[in-house]
Amino acid sequence: MTARHVEGAAAYVPETVDLGRLAGAVQGCRGCDLFQGTTQAVFGAGPAAATMMLVGEQPGDHEDRDGKPFVGPAGRVLDDALLAAEITREQVYLTNAVKHFKFTRAAGQKRRIHKTPSRTEVVACRPWLFAELGAVQPDVLVLLGATAAKALMGNDFRLSAHRGEVLRPPDPGVPDNDLQVVVSIHPSAVLRTPREGRDAAYDGLVADLRLAASLLV
Ligand code: URA
Ligand code: SF4
Protein backbone atom coordinates (compact mmCIF):
# COMPACT_ATOMS: atom_id res chain seq x y z
CA MET A 1 0.00 0.00 0.00
CA THR A 2 1.43 3.38 -0.87
CA ALA A 3 0.93 6.22 1.59
CA ARG A 4 -1.66 8.68 0.41
CA HIS A 5 -0.48 12.22 -0.05
CA VAL A 6 -1.65 14.41 2.83
CA GLU A 7 -2.21 17.94 1.66
CA GLY A 8 -2.28 19.68 5.03
CA ALA A 9 -4.48 22.48 6.28
CA ALA A 10 -2.53 25.48 4.96
CA ALA A 11 -4.72 25.97 1.88
CA TYR A 12 -7.85 26.03 4.07
CA VAL A 13 -6.72 28.56 6.67
CA PRO A 14 -7.95 32.07 5.83
CA GLU A 15 -5.53 34.88 6.37
CA THR A 16 -7.18 36.48 9.33
CA VAL A 17 -6.79 36.93 13.07
CA ASP A 18 -10.56 36.77 13.52
CA LEU A 19 -11.22 33.64 15.60
CA GLY A 20 -14.83 33.47 14.41
CA ARG A 21 -13.76 33.35 10.79
CA LEU A 22 -11.11 30.75 11.53
CA ALA A 23 -13.63 28.64 13.43
CA GLY A 24 -16.02 28.83 10.50
CA ALA A 25 -13.37 27.91 7.96
CA VAL A 26 -12.09 24.89 9.86
CA GLN A 27 -15.38 23.12 9.19
CA GLY A 28 -14.44 22.99 5.52
CA CYS A 29 -10.92 21.68 6.08
CA ARG A 30 -9.97 18.58 4.12
CA GLY A 31 -6.26 18.89 4.84
CA CYS A 32 -6.08 15.25 5.94
CA ASP A 33 -8.50 12.34 6.15
CA LEU A 34 -9.51 12.74 9.78
CA PHE A 35 -12.68 14.69 9.02
CA GLN A 36 -14.20 11.48 7.66
CA GLY A 37 -16.78 9.97 9.97
CA THR A 38 -16.69 12.86 12.45
CA THR A 39 -19.57 15.13 13.43
CA GLN A 40 -17.59 18.35 13.04
CA ALA A 41 -14.23 19.97 13.54
CA VAL A 42 -13.65 21.21 17.08
CA PHE A 43 -11.89 24.54 17.08
CA GLY A 44 -10.44 26.27 20.12
CA ALA A 45 -12.60 28.22 22.55
CA GLY A 46 -11.99 31.16 24.81
CA PRO A 47 -11.42 34.90 24.62
CA ALA A 48 -9.21 36.36 21.90
CA ALA A 49 -7.60 38.42 24.68
CA ALA A 50 -6.61 35.35 26.70
CA THR A 51 -3.10 35.58 28.11
CA MET A 52 -2.72 31.82 28.38
CA MET A 53 -3.33 29.18 25.74
CA LEU A 54 -3.71 25.50 26.60
CA VAL A 55 -3.26 22.87 23.92
CA GLY A 56 -4.51 19.27 24.22
CA GLU A 57 -4.34 16.48 21.69
CA GLN A 58 -7.58 16.21 19.75
CA PRO A 59 -11.30 16.23 20.44
CA GLY A 60 -12.73 13.10 21.99
CA ASP A 61 -16.15 11.56 21.51
CA HIS A 62 -17.93 14.20 23.65
CA GLU A 63 -16.12 17.09 22.03
CA ASP A 64 -16.88 15.75 18.55
CA ARG A 65 -20.58 15.75 19.35
CA ASP A 66 -20.61 19.08 21.25
CA GLY A 67 -18.25 21.00 19.00
CA LYS A 68 -16.29 22.37 21.97
CA PRO A 69 -12.90 21.38 23.39
CA PHE A 70 -12.54 19.63 26.77
CA VAL A 71 -16.19 19.06 27.63
CA GLY A 72 -15.85 15.33 28.44
CA PRO A 73 -14.15 13.47 31.33
CA ALA A 74 -10.69 14.90 30.56
CA GLY A 75 -12.26 18.37 30.55
CA ARG A 76 -13.59 17.85 34.04
CA VAL A 77 -10.11 16.93 35.28
CA LEU A 78 -8.72 20.01 33.55
CA ASP A 79 -11.41 22.26 35.05
CA ASP A 80 -10.60 21.01 38.54
CA ALA A 81 -6.86 21.45 37.96
CA LEU A 82 -7.33 24.99 36.61
CA LEU A 83 -9.41 25.88 39.65
CA ALA A 84 -6.76 24.41 41.98
CA ALA A 85 -4.11 26.48 40.19
CA GLU A 86 -6.32 29.56 40.51
CA ILE A 87 -6.66 29.99 36.77
CA THR A 88 -10.09 30.98 35.52
CA ARG A 89 -11.55 29.67 32.27
CA GLU A 90 -11.92 33.32 31.18
CA GLN A 91 -8.14 33.73 31.26
CA VAL A 92 -7.51 30.83 28.94
CA TYR A 93 -7.97 29.91 25.34
CA LEU A 94 -8.33 26.16 25.09
CA THR A 95 -7.59 24.20 21.95
CA ASN A 96 -6.15 20.99 20.53
CA ALA A 97 -3.22 20.08 18.29
CA VAL A 98 -5.62 18.28 15.92
CA LYS A 99 -9.13 19.54 15.19
CA HIS A 100 -10.94 16.36 14.13
CA PHE A 101 -11.56 13.30 16.30
CA LYS A 102 -9.49 10.26 15.28
CA PHE A 103 -11.06 7.00 16.36
CA THR A 104 -11.46 3.34 15.63
CA ARG A 105 -14.43 1.12 16.20
CA ALA A 106 -14.13 -2.48 17.27
CA ALA A 107 -15.99 -4.77 14.84
CA GLY A 108 -19.73 -4.59 15.43
CA GLN A 109 -19.37 -1.95 18.16
CA LYS A 110 -21.00 1.45 18.17
CA ARG A 111 -18.59 2.99 20.65
CA ARG A 112 -15.81 5.05 19.09
CA ILE A 113 -12.38 4.50 20.62
CA HIS A 114 -9.81 7.30 20.68
CA LYS A 115 -6.80 6.76 18.46
CA THR A 116 -3.63 8.86 18.77
CA PRO A 117 -3.10 11.05 15.70
CA SER A 118 -0.03 10.34 13.61
CA ARG A 119 2.84 12.78 13.18
CA THR A 120 1.63 13.38 9.60
CA GLU A 121 -1.82 14.34 10.85
CA VAL A 122 -0.43 16.59 13.58
CA VAL A 123 1.75 18.42 11.05
CA ALA A 124 -1.14 18.58 8.58
CA CYS A 125 -3.37 20.26 11.17
CA ARG A 126 -0.74 22.58 12.63
CA PRO A 127 -1.55 25.61 10.44
CA TRP A 128 -4.79 25.95 12.43
CA LEU A 129 -2.85 25.98 15.69
CA PHE A 130 -0.43 28.56 14.30
CA ALA A 131 -3.41 30.66 13.19
CA GLU A 132 -4.85 30.47 16.71
CA LEU A 133 -1.49 31.47 18.19
CA GLY A 134 -1.33 34.40 15.79
CA ALA A 135 -4.86 35.49 16.67
CA VAL A 136 -4.69 35.12 20.46
CA GLN A 137 -0.99 35.93 20.94
CA PRO A 138 -0.86 34.45 24.42
CA ASP A 139 2.02 35.20 26.79
CA VAL A 140 2.06 31.66 28.11
CA LEU A 141 1.44 28.42 26.26
CA VAL A 142 0.73 25.18 28.12
CA LEU A 143 1.19 21.99 26.12
CA LEU A 144 -0.78 19.11 27.60
CA GLY A 145 0.59 15.69 26.69
CA ALA A 146 3.11 14.39 24.18
CA THR A 147 1.07 15.11 21.06
CA ALA A 148 0.75 18.83 21.80
CA ALA A 149 4.33 19.04 23.07
CA LYS A 150 5.77 17.44 19.93
CA ALA A 151 3.48 19.48 17.69
CA LEU A 152 5.17 22.69 18.83
CA MET A 153 8.51 21.64 20.29
CA GLY A 154 9.52 19.12 17.62
CA ASN A 155 9.12 15.40 17.14
CA ASP A 156 12.13 14.48 19.32
CA PHE A 157 10.88 16.48 22.30
CA ARG A 158 10.63 14.41 25.49
CA LEU A 159 7.88 15.74 27.68
CA SER A 160 9.00 13.99 30.88
CA ALA A 161 12.46 15.55 30.61
CA HIS A 162 11.07 19.10 30.58
CA ARG A 163 8.36 19.19 33.23
CA GLY A 164 8.73 22.20 35.49
CA GLU A 165 10.80 24.18 33.00
CA VAL A 166 9.97 27.42 31.24
CA LEU A 167 10.73 26.86 27.56
CA ARG A 168 10.84 28.85 24.35
CA PRO A 169 9.29 27.49 21.18
CA PRO A 170 12.08 26.40 18.80
CA ASP A 171 9.91 25.94 15.77
CA PRO A 172 10.33 28.84 13.34
CA GLY A 173 6.68 28.34 12.33
CA VAL A 174 5.51 29.40 15.78
CA PRO A 175 4.41 33.01 15.31
CA ASP A 176 5.21 34.61 18.65
CA ASN A 177 8.78 34.33 19.81
CA ASP A 178 8.19 36.00 23.17
CA LEU A 179 6.05 33.06 24.10
CA GLN A 180 6.88 31.16 27.29
CA VAL A 181 6.04 27.48 27.15
CA VAL A 182 5.25 25.02 29.93
CA VAL A 183 4.61 21.32 29.33
CA SER A 184 2.53 18.94 31.37
CA ILE A 185 0.78 15.62 31.21
CA HIS A 186 -2.55 15.36 29.48
CA PRO A 187 -5.55 15.41 31.85
CA SER A 188 -6.71 12.06 30.42
CA ALA A 189 -3.37 10.58 31.54
CA VAL A 190 -4.50 11.37 35.08
CA LEU A 191 -7.63 9.30 34.45
CA ARG A 192 -5.56 6.43 33.05
CA THR A 193 -3.14 6.39 36.00
CA PRO A 194 -3.78 3.45 38.37
CA ARG A 195 -5.59 4.52 41.51
CA GLU A 196 -2.55 4.49 43.79
CA GLY A 197 -0.71 7.01 41.61
CA ARG A 198 -3.61 9.11 40.45
CA ASP A 199 -3.48 11.84 43.10
CA ALA A 200 0.22 12.37 42.45
CA ALA A 201 -0.40 12.59 38.70
CA TYR A 202 -3.16 15.15 39.27
CA ASP A 203 -0.98 17.14 41.68
CA GLY A 204 1.73 17.22 39.04
CA LEU A 205 -0.69 18.68 36.51
CA VAL A 206 -1.76 21.32 39.05
CA ALA A 207 1.87 22.18 39.84
CA ASP A 208 2.61 22.69 36.13
CA LEU A 209 -0.45 24.91 35.75
CA ARG A 210 0.66 26.91 38.80
CA LEU A 211 4.04 27.42 37.18
CA ALA A 212 2.27 28.64 34.02
CA ALA A 213 0.08 31.00 36.07
CA SER A 214 3.14 32.41 37.83
CA LEU A 215 4.50 33.57 34.47
CA LEU A 216 1.53 35.83 33.86
CA VAL A 217 2.29 39.38 34.87
N1 URA B 1 -8.73 15.44 25.07
C2 URA B 1 -8.12 16.44 24.40
O3 URA B 1 -6.93 16.44 24.17
N4 URA B 1 -8.85 17.46 23.99
C5 URA B 1 -10.16 17.54 24.20
O6 URA B 1 -10.75 18.52 23.78
C7 URA B 1 -10.77 16.49 24.91
C8 URA B 1 -10.03 15.45 25.33
FE1 SF4 C 1 -8.07 19.64 8.54
FE2 SF4 C 1 -6.96 19.15 10.90
FE3 SF4 C 1 -9.34 18.14 10.33
FE4 SF4 C 1 -7.17 17.15 9.13
S5 SF4 C 1 -7.65 17.07 11.34
S6 SF4 C 1 -9.12 17.70 8.14
S7 SF4 C 1 -5.93 19.01 8.88
S8 SF4 C 1 -8.84 20.30 10.53
**For 173-202, how does the pLDDT look when each residue is reduced to its tens digit (9 = 90+)?**
676 568 999 999 999 999 999 999 999 999
According to the model, what pLDDT value does residue 110 have? 84
Q: Whose CA is nearest to atom 7 of ligand 1?
A: 70
Number of folded domains in the chain?
1
The proportion of the chain whose per-residue pLDDT surpasses 90, expressed as a percent, equals 88
Residue 177: per-residue pLDDT:
64
Rounded to whole angstroms, the Cα distance separating 7 from 152 reads 19
30 C-beta closer than 6 A to ligand 2: yes
Give the atom of ligand 2 at the shortest distance from the alpha carbon of 117.
5
Note down the domain range covering 150: 3-214
Here the CATH number for the domain that contains residue 54 is: 3.40.470.10
pLDDT tens for 43-61 read: 999 999 999 999 999 999 9
Residue 206 beta carbon below 6 angstroms from any ligand 2 atom: no
23 C-beta closer than 6 A to ligand 2: no
Q: How far apart are CA 205 and CA 182, in angstroms?
A: 11
Res 89: pLDDT: 83
Alpha helices in 137-169 (DSSP H): 146-153
Least Cα distance to 183 among 165, 202, 203 occurs for 165
29 lines ligand 2 (CB under 6 A): yes
- Reported as a single tens digit per residue, the pLDDT across 106-131 is 888 888 999 999 999 999 999 999 99
Which of the 8 DSSP states describes residue 41?
Answer: -
Atom 2 of ligand 2, nearest CA residue: 125
Does the beta carbon of 42 sit less than 6 angstroms from any atom of ligand 2? no
CA angle 210, 202, 61 (to 5 degrees): 110
Amino acid identity at 122:
V
pLDDT of 163 > 70? The answer is yes
